[in-house]
Structure 1
Amino acid sequence: MAVETQPVSPALNQPAREEEEALREQLMFDPRPREELNRMVMESMYSTSPRYWVAVGVLTALVLVCLVGMWGYMIFTGIGIAGIRKPIYWGVFIVTFVFWIGISHAGTFVSAILRVFKAEFRRPFTRAAELMTTFGLAAGALYPLIHLGRVWVFYWMIPYPNARWLWPNFRSPLVWDFLAITTYLLSSTIYLYLPLLPDLAMARDRTQGWRHAVYKALALGWRGTEAEWFRLRKAINIFAFAIIPVMFSVHTIVSWDFAVGQVGGWNSTIFGPYFIIGAILSGVSAVITILVILRATLKHMDYFIRPEHLDALGKLVLVFSMAWAYFFFNDYLVSWYGGYEVTRRILTLHATGPTAWVWYCMLFFNVVIPWLTLWSRKIRRTPWAMFIITVLINVGMYFERYTIIPMTLGHQRFPFDWGEYSPRLPEISIAFGTLCLFILLYLLASRLIPLVPVWEVREGQEAHKVVKVGKTVVPSVSELE
């Protein structure tokens, strides 16, 4: 049967026209001229309202007061003003650190892994996810310094030759985290910058003044020649494959902070994959939350971010919620039947102790809510519903880290050494300050760089066609590489 690739004729029968209209609801089958796409992205960067500047001012004040001010006060007074003390030496600081490192993994997953598997729905939001990786790492990287206490000697964590023959303790988790975060931050920043080059050149050619000078410097003389496109695609593909093992190794190292210790409830061989699955679950949920906010606040963003993208990401969240539940209960079952009395007591206290409500909220938010809602296509394609679900999932993932760290440390081998942990104002303030810092960085970036990779969207639209096969229309995807 012959296949025609020309535009579908208006004379098609009614079912064929309905099928074509349904396909046009998808971004890849609703193309617009390249110049119009460029204009839409640039307008979203310039659309600043008084509410935007109020939000920037409020967030800046909160960062200065809650993060900078409280951290400075803690440095001046001493880390004793925090709630961490014997027997619980890791509290909200480490909980929030693990949370931000987990959030940062979604950018790599959404961009690199979906690019490797050629998932076409990733095209309009890869940059939004990659920015989340960079800013999440920037927020999380503060916590080894905050928890260090004497931050002015932070360079002792760096393994460099020195005249004093002073080398860091390689058994310390601080050194592991420093190396892991530095490696991941450098690689993720490069991976963010490479696909940004064509869009920086686009912004360079459409701006004046200081913006033009900045974009001109950052675009590195990009002209869009065939040789430049060839090298760019090769470099992106190489980094996509290379950064995936970096992503897995970084959060595995974070899990080793706990698993290699002689602490009941931590010395588990499943912590590596368990932490990775949890990081992807919280990260993909955070991507959906950000996309819903961008879709509601930025001009023209509803054209690029559509219900189909929330639908696809919602399916991923449901799959990883099931995988997280498997690893969570696997860890509990193995520990329970392993015969280690300390671990049994800890697991019992998680569900029956004074902070058991944290444990039950974690299961409700991470398992019950996704399993009861995300099976529905209608819910997955409803932005406000996805916003609420994904925010609750990340609250549950924060409670999961809280359960692993302070709730486990409080009841170890000797009953006379037991204790309860109560976060104090400095810890809560600094944790809230890093959240404000993350949101502030995202707000500023949304007006400084194109959040949508226009060239990737246009490339996908050129590859996707609606063709007529007999009396019906079907989607067709061409191989561009």
Structure 2
Amino acid sequence: MSAARAAGETRATLDPGASPVIDPHATMAGLTAHTSDAVLERPIGALWLGCFAGALLLTGLLAAGIWRLLLKGVGIWGINIPVAWAFAITNYVWWIAIGMGGTFISAALYLARQPWRASLNRFAESMTVCAVSVSGIFPILHLGRPWFFYWLMPYPNRMDVWPQWRSSLLWDFFAIVAYLLVSLMYWYVGLVPDFATLRDRARQRWKQVSYGVLALGWRGDAQHWRHYERVSLVLAGLSVPLVFSVHSMVALDFSEGLLPGWHSTLFPPFFIAGALFSGFAMALVLGIALRRWYRMEAYITERHLDNLAKMMLAAGLVVGYSYATELFTAFYSMDTYELAEAKDRLSGAYSWMFWLIVGCNVVSIQTLWWPQVRRNRVALVVISILVLIGMWFERLLLILNSLYHGFLPSSWGMFYPTLWDLAFLAGSFGMFFLLLLILLRCVPMLSMFELRKLIHQRGGATR
């Protein structure tokens, strides 16, 4: 086979459609300079400072809310009997779901050997780490006495206070800790070769030392690459099952309950589809923002946006099918309580929330069938934000509609959020973006070594 023919087949593999994996004119030198200078040389601009100040203010609001909760208890929220769950659990499920989408983009596409993931995996992994860090706060705060959260751990102690292994709180503890540790390891291992690049290009001595320590003595020899590929493969192989097991475990928090609307075997796959749905939506919003902010159009191309939009559409169709299945099961079974819960969802006190969810999660994504919409950045941002709003309300409705209307009229009661509920919600956004903005200044948002590999395969190694 001639060299020209081999190069042509490689190009065809990387560029199966009209839109390439990366810009055909991209070079290794340009990629390295563009990505590393964004961390090492780019000055702190007014836009970053403004976003950081806003995120810091909201994070301070979250800290104030936590302090108030420690002093007064969870009564500062609007929860009560019969609605004993509300915003905190909604925030927990919503944020951990966003992390699932980032892991799937990075790990699942790595196992599938998809070359176009190289432009997306770094910021998707960073999104996962930040989202899971935020989500882990809310189950602890919901304990009532959060300063005793360590009782969930099976640690040796002299008082013989052991965890309740049948409690979903314990399941959530192991799920979050395992997922956060694996996500952190996978994210950090992928950064080691790029930390070495930053070490070699840094001018200030403190940056050379800092990135040198983080690079773990990386020299890029064959032995290092062999170990790196093995570790990455193992961590990716662990991450993908965690995407399904962790959110299935979150779903079992509801499925183990005997309330109508919760006691269903549909929840684990339904929650997984919803997690990927909202995760892809957040990845689109962040990807488009980073593409514009850091001038990454050469590396995050229209093809990446198109593929992410297709993945979001596929996950959204499964979510819409799950909504229909829930209603069909209730009416087909003719169970008195399931039927009452389904009718209440359609026309009850919170029916406005259900139809908002249908509009955001089912109707809005139908426009993604058209390629023109999938490549329109403004349309993608609007649709993704609608999906994120719809998925948050979907988790809230799932909680409220089964709790506020009990078996007896004496146990009926509406939920009304307080200002502290809204403060915790806004503060969670602040903490997420604060962590993400810090990472933007410290680590490259593109995987330089993976993109250099694509450029080399394309035949542009020296241009």
TM-score (norm 2): 0.93
Q: Which amino acid aligns with 2:179?
A: Y
Contact 1:204 1:216 in 2 (8 A): yes
Aligned counterpart, 2:75? 80
Q: Which amino acid aligns with 1:456?
A: E
Distance of 1:374 and 1:76 partners within structure 2: 48
Aligned counterpart, 2:4? 4
Which of the numbers 381, 390, 401 marks the counterpart of 1:387? 381
Q: Which amino acid aligns with 1:89?
A: A
Which of the numbers 431, 454, 459 marks the counterpart of 2:453? 459
Contact 1:60 1:440 in 2 (8 A): yes
Aligned counterpart, 2:146? 151
How much does 1:81 deviate? 1.8
What is the DSSP-based 3-state SS (H/G/I as helix, E as strand, rest coil) of the residue aligned with 1:302? coil
Distance of 2:241 and 2:261 partners within structure 1: 27
Contact 1:5 1:465 in 2 (8 A): no
Aligned counterpart, 1:12? none
Q: 1:31 to 1:233 in 2, by over 3 A?
A: farther
Aligned counterpart, 2:231? 235
Which of the numbers 332, 338, 343 marks the counterpart of 1:343? 338
Distance of 1:408 and 1:153 partners within structure 2: 29
Distance of 2:314 and 2:46 partners within structure 1: 40
Which of the numbers 313, 322, 335 marks the counterpart of 1:318? 313
Would you say 1:102 and 2:80 are equivalent positions? Answer: no
Would you say 1:272 and 2:268 are equivalent positions? Answer: yes
Cα deviations across residues 392-429 of structure 1 (Å, max 9, x unaligned)? 00111111101111222111221221111111111110
How much does 1:44 deviate? 2.2
Aligned counterpart, 2:278? 282
How much does 1:58 deviate? 2.4
Distance of 1:216 and 1:2 partners within structure 2: 42
Which of the numbers 24, 35, 40 marks the counterpart of 1:30? 24
Q: Which amino acid aligns with 1:316?
A: M
Contact 1:26 1:306 in 2 (8 A): yes
Aligned counterpart, 1:199? 194
Q: Which amino acid aligns with 2:396?
A: Y
Q: Which amino acid aligns with 2:145?
A: R
Q: Which amino acid aligns with 2:205?
A: G
Q: Which amino acid aligns with 2:123?
A: A
Distance of 1:464 and 1:26 partners within structure 2: 11
Distance of 2:160 and 2:17 partners within structure 1: 66
Distance of 1:391 and 1:381 partners within structure 2: 16
Q: Which amino acid aligns with 1:377?
A: P
How much does 1:3 deviate? 7.8
How much does 1:31 deviate? 5.0
Distance of 2:169 and 2:195 partners within structure 1: 37
Distance of 2:330 and 2:434 partners within structure 1: 42
Aligned counterpart, 1:427? 421
Would you say 1:114 and 2:109 are equivalent positions? Answer: yes
Which of the numbers 38, 55, 64 marks the counterpart of 1:69? 64
Aligned counterpart, 1:443? 437
What is the DSSP-based 3-state SS (H/G/I as helix, E as strand, rest coil) of the residue aligned with 2:158? coil
Distance of 1:161 and 1:337 partners within structure 2: 50
Distance of 2:408 and 2:332 partners within structure 1: 21
In structure 2, the gaps of 5 or more residues are: 9-14
Distance of 1:388 and 1:110 partners within structure 2: 21
Would you say 1:375 and 2:369 are equivalent positions? Answer: yes
Q: 1:185 to 1:68 in 2, by over 3 A?
A: same
How much does 1:6 deviate? 8.6
Q: Which amino acid aligns with 2:447?
A: P
Q: Which amino acid aligns with 1:179?
A: F
Q: Which amino acid aligns with 1:256?
A: L
How much does 1:22 deviate? 11
How much does 1:199 deviate? 0.4
How much does 1:306 deviate? 1.4
How much does 1:273 deviate? 0.5
How much does 1:2 deviate? 7.4
RMSD over aligned CA atoms reads 2.1
What is the DSSP-based 3-state SS (H/G/I as helix, E as strand, rest coil) of the residue aligned with 2:337? helix
Distance of 1:273 and 1:178 partners within structure 2: 21
What is the DSSP-based 3-state SS (H/G/I as helix, E as strand, rest coil) of the residue aligned with 1:273? helix
Contact 2:57 2:430 in 1 (8 A): no
Q: Quick one: percent identity of the two aligned structures?
A: 32
Aligned counterpart, 1:48? 44
Would you say 1:253 and 2:249 are equivalent positions? Answer: yes
Distance of 2:338 and 2:208 partners within structure 1: 60
Contact 2:136 2:176 in 1 (8 A): yes
How much does 1:126 deviate? 0.3
Aligned counterpart, 1:357? 352
Q: 1:280 to 1:422 in 2, by over 3 A?
A: same
Would you say 1:331 and 2:326 are equivalent positions? Answer: yes
Would you say 1:181 and 2:168 are equivalent positions? Answer: no
Contact 2:55 2:431 in 1 (8 A): yes
Cα deviations across residues 270-322 of structure 1 (Å, max 9, x unaligned)? 11101000000110111001001111212x32221111100011111111111
Contact 2:102 2:279 in 1 (8 A): yes
Aligned counterpart, 2:212? 216
What is the DSSP-based 3-state SS (H/G/I as helix, E as strand, rest coil) of the residue aligned with 2:142? helix
Cα deviations across residues 163-186 of structure 1 (Å, max 9, x unaligned)? 000012222222111111000000
Which of the numbers 261, 265, 288 marks the counterpart of 1:292? 288
Q: Which amino acid aligns with 1:232?
A: Y
**Mean alpha-carbon deviation: is it higher for 70-79 or for 186-195?**
70-79
Q: 1:95 to 1:215 in 2, by over 3 A?
A: same
Contact 1:24 1:30 in 2 (8 A): no
Q: 1:222 to 1:31 in 2, by over 3 A?
A: farther
Q: Which amino acid aligns with 1:388?
A: V
Q: Which amino acid aligns with 1:354?
A: A
Q: Which amino acid aligns with 1:205?
A: D
What is the DSSP-based 3-state SS (H/G/I as helix, E as strand, rest coil) of the residue aligned with 1:205? helix
Contact 1:158 1:168 in 2 (8 A): yes
Aligned pairs for 1:153-172 within 5 A: 153-172=148-167
Cα deviations across residues 453-478 of structure 1 (Å, max 9, x unaligned)? 01111112323469xxxxxxxxxxxx
Cα deviations across residues 218-250 of structure 1 (Å, max 9, x unaligned)? 100000001111111121112212221122110
How much does 1:23 deviate? 7.5
Cα deviations across residues 26-74 of structure 1 (Å, max 9, x unaligned)? 244615332221110022222421221122122112211x200012112
